[in-house]
Structures are given as structure tokens and as C-alpha cells.
Amino acid sequence: MNIKPGMGKKQLFEILTALAGTRSEGNLPLKGVVDVSLPYMPRKSPIILISNLENDDSISKACSDIRILDFSLTVISPNPIDFELMAKTKARMPIGDPMAYEILKAEREVRLEELRGYGAKVIDWDPNMPFTAVLAQLRA
């Protein structure tokens, strides 16, 4: 995805349009993407990572590297635990052991706090919140 620099509502439209057409493909770890792409990006460029933070052990190191190199990092993380609970509730499926979800939530919070510790702005995206509301949090 390539988006030209800009600002305002037009830029937001460009970003949302580009995001709407993206698909998750492949299994390249974030650290590999960071190592290859950061040398070509201007310092202090804002980087926005949208990830559920699962299934990639390189995320913490990649985010640390991004901040060490003085890039502005925002992490928007759709909460897969809340999404699963919401989906099961709507489908009237049994939720299972609530303690298991509490453990998963605690592990997720540790990971989010780790990223905040690197200096990233981290948004734990509640599945009930529209994306425009998430973007409004970025402006706050």
C-alpha cells in the first residue's frame, strides 16, 4: 500500500480507502518487514501498525526497533478476545471457562503495556467501537 503524504479529511479518506482493500496474506514476521523497510523511510515518520498482536513473536522486537530509530509509532490492536466473546454471545454459543479468557486478557494487557513502555501509543480496539472512533482517539 502506498499513500502519498497529506492531511485532513481527504487524507483520512485516502487511508480508509486503501485499508478497505487490503488483505492479510503470507506469514512474513513484522521484524522482517521493519528491517527491510525502515532504512528507506524518513526519520520521525509516523508508523501506524494495525494488528491483533497474535501469532508473531517478532512484534515486540520490531516495535522496539521502530522506537529506537526515533519513528513515531501508533499501534491499533483489534481485541480478538473481546471479539470472540461478542461473537459467541451473539451466536448464543457457550463461552466456556471464563477464567481462561481472564488469563488471555491479562497476557494481552502485558503485551500492550510492553509496547507502551517502548513509547508507542497503543489503542486496544474494542470490537464494538467503529474505526472512525478509534481514529478520533489518535487525535486526542
The 3-state secondary structure of 72-93 reads EEEEEEECHHHHHHHHHHHCCC
For residue 50, give the 3-state DSSP assignment.
strand
The structural domains of the chain, ordered by start, are 29-139 (3.40.50)
Q: Which pLDDT tens digit goes with each residue over 126-138?
A: 989 998 899 888 8
Q: pLDDT class for 80, splitting at 50, 70, 90?
A: very high
Any bridge partners for residue 72, and if so which? 46
The predicted structure's pLDDT at residue 9: 82
Label residue 30 exposed, middle or buried (CB < 10 Å: 0-12, 13-18, 19+): buried
Q: Does this model's pTM top 0.85?
A: no
What is the rounded CA–CA span in Å between residue 80 and residue 7? 30
**Is the separation of the CB atoms in 136 and 90 below 8 Å?**
no
Sheet of 72-78: strand order equals 46-50, 72-78, 121-125
- Residue 23 cell numbers, joined: 488483505
Share of the chain above pLDDT 90, in %: 53
